DNA sequence: CAAAATACGTAACATACGGTACAGCGCTCC
DNA sequence: GGAGCGCTGTACCGTATGTTACGTATTTTG
């Protein structure tokens, strides 16, 4: 049963030539607003010519463009009248691979934040925003990208942010630069990496404040950590999900940014100038 | 403060002559759909003549009818994009920094997947699992970690997966290795990077299949992409959120893994042995 | 590798849309 | 009761819009 134009597009996008597919993607990307504008605007947004747009709506089964627009408007009207219908993500029963995966991920996030108090987040953000020391970030085999992501953002708003990459010997030697005013952010989920644990222990001995992102079973590093963020990772997949930790990371980035607003704004402006 | 056209009308309907008032009432009655139709339809519905509609629109402060329609559309678009905003007129009282951020992120994910059909995901997964060619991944300043994350997983279950890192000159030269059987996964959100666009164009010319992860405004690379994944990125923070794209990436990783189950399992076993 | 089929964009076309001038009508206020 | 003002609709105009035909480029197939 196809009830919306969006579904219609999803159903037929596979059979469309490149140009029309771009039209379809553009429409879906900001659905349905672009479809309400003129053919010229639509074609410009999609980067194709007007006739391609018309062929596109024709392939969807409409006689002409106005008829297509009317259909979109009717759909919109129905949607607006019953806000309840906006039950995002149609609980499509047949559901392929995506829905259960997404549902599990959303649940993970809710659970993760449920066990994470505002105060704890504020504490950590405060620690990261405290500019008397340096910030080091490192992750495991699959979580290192999260460390990179966080480092990329933090480095924009403050100095002395370092992502520890490369071979173990490389970052192990950076220990001498670390002291009790510094913060070490570690990402470590199953299967926990010994090398990280060794590193964390040594850093801890030097008085470094450790912020640990781990899963709900807690990496052994937790015993050395000052702050532990335990994210849910279970999803119906062969892999664990780091999405919840990713969102916590983004939240922290946002909080730190807010705290460093004044200084951060100046830094960003300077950076822009340097380009 | 007047923020919507509906309020504007309520504010001025008292000063309007009879005909225009009927126009106003008709518009408010089925707001805002009638305003998106033609002047003729509007006038017929209101039972007045076309010029009366135009005078009505003019009295609201618009230069012409299209400008009025655009304004209505913008309003609608804003309303559609943040379903939460409507119900959150009075946000949770205690509200620290986390909840709104989390809510927005969850909404982003739901919206992102809403516009992403199972079939499209399956298509992309199939392409990534097709082992006749190589897979290259690359990202922008803040999204490159996502490319790394995906590469780290894909590389475990199949060969010929390469993350393009380092200086532009480094990966630009890898173009010679790319052909029409290969897949290039690009992450590019605002502010879009020119270097990536150049790279994508050249890869496209070589017949490489491009899978693009971008935001809802679509990176210019979309014109070269065979598959476009448009994720929502808006959150109450100084930064855009890549969390939705991250979840899509994890979903794809899971789907590809499932498709390569047999081969992948063997590979993983071999890898374990190698340790 | 050749040939056919398909898809795409340019350019010309017709229509219908928004806009405007003008005349008729009703209303109000001397 | 008459004169003035203002609102409304009819009729017409210019134009921007949707539409179509055709030539070229690209891909697919034998």
| pLDDT tens profile B92-132 | 333 344 578 999 999 999 989 988 888 888 889 988 998 78
Give contacts of B 5-44 with A, CB under 8 A.
30, 33, 36-37
The stretch B127-154 carries a mean pLDDT of: 94
State how far the Cα of A27 lies from the Cα of B206, in Å rounded to an integer: 27
Judged against a pLDDT cut of 90, whether residue B89 lies above it is answered with no
* Residues facing B138 on adjacent strands: B186
Q: Which residues touch strand D (CB under 7 A)?
A: A 38-40, 50-51, 54, 57, 64-66; B 17-20, 48-52, 55, 66, 207
CA-nearest of A129, A159, A136 to A260 is: A129
Average pLDDT, chain B: 85
* Edge-to-edge strand list for the sheet holding A135-139: A161-163, A135-139, A183-187, A209-215, A227-231
Q: By three-state DSSP, how is residue A183 classified?
A: strand
Judged against a pLDDT cut of 70, whether residue B268 lies above it is answered with no
Among the partner-chain residues A18, A118, A141, the one whose CB lies closest to the CB of B97 is A118
| pLDDT tens profile B168-178 | 888 999 999 89
Best residue of A99, A102, A115 to probe chain B, by most B CBs closer than 10 Å: A102
From first to last of the 275 residues of chain A, give the pLDDT tens digit: 667 888 888 888 888 888 899 899 889 888 888 999 999 999 998 989 999 999 999 999 998 899 999 999 988 888 776 543 333 333 333 334 457 899 999 999 998 998 787 878 888 999 999 878 999 999 999 999 999 999 999 999 999 999 999 888 889 999 999 988 999 999 999 889 999 999 999 999 899 999 999 998 888 898 888 888 989 999 999 899 999 999 999 999 999 999 887 666 667 677 666 66
Among the partner-chain residues B73, B153, B223, the one whose CB lies closest to the CB of A47 is B223
Structural element, H or E, at residue B40: helix B39-46
Distance B71 CA to C28 C1' (A): 37
Walk me through the domains of chain B, giving residue ranges and CATH numbers: 5-80 (1.10.10.10), 100-274 (3.40.50.10490)
Catalogue the long-range contacts made by A105-108 (C-beta closer than 8 Å, 24 or more residues apart). A105/A235, A105/A241, A105/A243, A105/A244, A105/B109, A105/B247, A105/B250, A106/B106, A106/B109, A106/B110, A107/A232, A108/A231, A108/A232, A108/A233, A108/A234, A108/A235, A108/A241, A108/A243, A108/A244
Task: Give the pLDDT score at A264.
Answer: 61
Q: Tell me the C-alpha to C-alpha distance, in Å, between residue A33 and each of A29, A38, A45, B78, B203.
A: 10, 11, 12, 10, 31
pLDDT category of residue B134 using cuts at 50, 70 and 90: very high
CB A134 within 8 A of CB A177: yes
Best residue of B33, B65, B68, B102 to probe chain A, by most A CBs closer than 10 Å: B102
């Amino acid at each position: 049963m196809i009830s919306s134009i969006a579904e219609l597009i999803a159903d037929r996008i596979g059979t469309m030539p490149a140009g029309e597919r771009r039209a379809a993607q553009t429409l879906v990307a900001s659905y349905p607003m672009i479809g309400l504008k003129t053919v010229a605007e639509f074609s410009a947004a999609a980067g194709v010519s007007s006739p391609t747009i018309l062929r596109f709506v024709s392939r969807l089964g409409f006689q002409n463009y106005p008829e297509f627009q009317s259909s979109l408007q009717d759909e919109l009207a129905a949607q607006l009248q019953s806000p309840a219908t906006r039950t995002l993500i149609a609980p499509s029963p047949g559901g392929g691979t995506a829905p259960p995966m997404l549902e599990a991920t959303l649940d993970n996030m809710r659970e993760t934040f449920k066990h994470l108090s505002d105060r704890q987040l504020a504490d950590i953000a405060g620690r990261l925003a405290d500019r008397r020391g340096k910030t080091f970030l490192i992750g495991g085999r699959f979580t290192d990208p999260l460390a990179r992501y966080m480092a990329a953002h933090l480095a924009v708003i403050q100095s002395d942010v370092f992502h520890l990459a490369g071979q173990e010997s490389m970052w192990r030697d950076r220990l001498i630069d670390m002291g009790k005013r510094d913060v070490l952010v570690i990402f470590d989920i199953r299967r926990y990496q010994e090398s990280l644990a060794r590193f964390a222990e040594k850093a801890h001995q030097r008085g470094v404040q450790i912020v640990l992102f781990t899963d709900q079973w807690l990496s052994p590093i937790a015993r050395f950590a000052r702050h532990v963020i335990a994210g849910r990772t279970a999803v119906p997949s062969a892999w664990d999900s780091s999405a919840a930790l990713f969102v916590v990371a983004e939240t922290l980035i946002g909080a730190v940014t807010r705290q460093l607003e004044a200084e951060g704004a100046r830094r960003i402006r300077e950076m822009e100038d340097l380009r």
